Structure 1
């Protein structure tokens, strides 16, 4: 259930889709958490870099997936309750959606 606009924007802005590993495809989209540590300074991992258009399209698709798909909704509610941050949970759903779409294109299955 990804909309036509989301699917077309992903195909247009990420030609690597279906040819990369889940970690590298998430990093290309800017949805992979990177540590911000230096010496004794230890901060929370944050998403950074990547392709902003893809990230925006996946964020909106994740909101729709949370409403419509039971699998993503259960993942979202569990993560939001565990972390205490709803935005973090939405970004995690967006990453999970991207990894799922990457696998669908790689395996050529519905």
Structure 2
């Protein structure tokens, strides 16, 4: 559930990713699951590298 709010309202990185997936024709639930997977991989990398959240690092280009 936290990913739903992050992907649709609060987090600019996940919000842009979610909107891009929706624009490509993905179902909303599929897009949310993709955002969850992306968030988990980002968080695992941050924990492994002992980093803090930096939205500029994970922004889509």
Higher helix share: 2
Which ranges of 4 or more aligned residues in structure 1 deviate by more than 3 Å? none
- Counterpart-to-counterpart distance in 2, 1:94 and 1:84: 15
| TM-score normalised by length of structure 1 | 0.44
What's the secondary structure of 1:83's corresponding residue? coil
Q: In the aligned structure 1, how far is the partner of 2:11 from the partner of 2:50?
A: 21
Q: In 2, Cα distance between the equivalents of 1:81 and 1:107?
A: 33
Number of corresponding residues: 51
**Superposed counterparts of 1:4-83, under 5 Å:** 60-66=1-7, 67-83=9-25
Greater relative contact order (Cα < 8 A, sep 6+): 2
CA RMSD of aligned residues (A): 1.0
Q: Distance in 1 between matches of 2:6 and 2:40?
A: 12
Cα distance in 1, alignment partners of residues 10 and 24 from structure 2 = 22
- Give the deviation of 1:84 after TM superposition: 3.2
Mark the structure with the bigger radius of gyration: 1
The runs of 5 or more residues in structure 1 that have no matched partner are 1-59
TM-score with structure 2 length normalisation? 0.76
Larger strand fraction of residues? 1
CA distance in 1, matches of 2:5, 2:25: 21
